[in-house]
Amino acid sequence: MTKDFEPKIVAFLCKWCSSAGSDLAGVSRMKYPPNVVPITVMCSGSVSPLYIFNAFQKGADGVLVSGCHPGDCHYIKGNFYARRRIALVKELLDFIGLEPERFKMSWVSAAEGTKYTEIIKDFVKDLKPLGPQKKLRRDL
């Protein structure tokens, strides 16, 4: 694929940990590529698989879901449900034939600005060689 390809990433961040962690990355003036547009949700447990498919259908090249660390959920156990659900989504995406690298789940606490920065950097780096996602894109 072309060198200039810039993947579009949608990141579903839980309000209490991952969104706060990405805020910390900002406060600490860390730098990561601008490819990611965050959508803050209340809990990673509220991320329906439909959101993930919808993002791919709308043309996202990569989707990230990030929540509190397992056992540390603001809502006690929402991220455990997220983890189970996401495992199934991964299998389903694989079944459909979408490159598994296009979908990622991570655990980022409010104190982990560095980790969030690294996750975004790595994700962009991994997505670049794959080129645009066309498998699920609706307008193609």
Q: Which residues bind another protein (CB under 8 A)?
A: 8, 10, 19-20, 22-27, 29-34, 37-43, 45-51, 54-55, 58-60, 71-78, 81-82, 85, 111, 117
∠ Cα 73 77 79 (to 5°): 65
φ, ψ of residue 103 to 5 degrees: the values are -130, 135
Residue in 73, 80, 135, 76 with CA at minimum distance from that of residue 102: 135
Q: State the minimum distance, in angstroms, from the CB of residue 126 to another protein.
A: 19
Q: State the minimum distance, in angstroms, from the CB of residue 30 to another protein.
A: 6
Q: How far apart are CA 27 and CA 44, in angstroms?
A: 23
Closer residue to another protein, CB minimum distance, 39 or 96 = 39
Q: State the minimum distance, in angstroms, from the CB of residue 99 to another protein.
A: 18
φ, ψ of residue 3 to 5 degrees: the values are -65, -30
Q: State the minimum distance, in angstroms, from the CB of residue 23 to another protein.
A: 4
Closer residue to another protein, CB minimum distance, 33 or 126 = 33
Q: State the minimum distance, in angstroms, from the CB of residue 52 to another protein.
A: 9
Closer residue to another protein, CB minimum distance, 69 or 99 = 69
Closer residue to another protein, CB minimum distance, 99 or 110 = 110
φ, ψ of residue 58 to 5 degrees: the values are -75, -10
Closer residue to another protein, CB minimum distance, 25 or 93 = 25
**DSSP summary character for residue 103:** E
Judge whether 113 and 73 are in contact, CB under 8 Å: no
